[in-house]
Amino acid sequence: MPQPSAPRKTLGRPPRISREEIIETARRIVDEGGVGKLTMRRLATEVGSTPMALYHHVRDKEELLVLLLDDYADRNLRRPELPADPRERILVAATAVHDALAACPWIVEVLTADDLMSTNALWFVEQIVDGLIECGLSPDRAVHAYRAVWYYTAGEIVVRTTAARRRADDERATYREQVFADLDTRELPRLAQVAGRWAPLTAEDTYPNGLRALVDGLLLSR
């Protein structure tokens, strides 16, 4: 007796994906493995689509990173109350950026490429540059001063994050600790004097003090 034929599978379109789903999945990938793990091919696999389908929503990985920056700024970068004093305004705005980025260090990795930015974060740049100009710097010098503040902020986050990651991955004494334990007190007397306290001292949060000193020095150069 002939068996009834199995119903023919219809070849429909692949499931539709949204830009929101793409951003959410991309954010999860970089949160778990860093920016280096984010590729269009992996992202397509994670959302159950194809790389070609992704290109209907984002032009390339660079545009995807910009979307991630804007998404993070929207959710985490809160505009603080700004004081009237321009110097204090610089400090408050820079500290707000630092605190937001320190909670998500991969953002700094993207921003240090120096050609990508979130337009949503430009308000903070405006406040810092405006404060520098009100303190007496020319617009050109204010841009240079802003860059110094940004380099200090980004560098502080990158160094602390990388050091913390290395310590978490390996509990053995670091190479620096091994070297500092056997310093020549005649050649390096000052370092030998503080060698035993170097790790806890450099682990202290000195960003606010360093920021104030940096800004004050930049303003003195006007």
Q: In this predicted model, what pLDDT tens digit does every residue of 55-76 receive, in sequence order?
A: 888 888 888 888 888 888 888 8
pLDDT band at 6 (very low <50, low <70, confident <90, very high): very low
Backbone angles phi, psi at 86, to 5 degrees: -65, -35
What the block records as the tokens of 53 is 């389908």
| pLDDT higher than threshold 80 for residue 12 | no
- pLDDT per position as a tens digit, 82-136: 999 999 999 999 999 999 988 887 888 888 777 777 888 899 999 999 999 999 9
With beta carbons less than 8 A apart as the criterion, state whether 66 and 116 touch.
yes
Q: What is the pLDDT of residue 169?
A: 67
Non-local (6+) Cβ contacts of 172 within 8 A are: none
| pLDDT higher than threshold 50 for residue 8 | no
Q: Check residue 8 and report its DSSP letter.
A: P
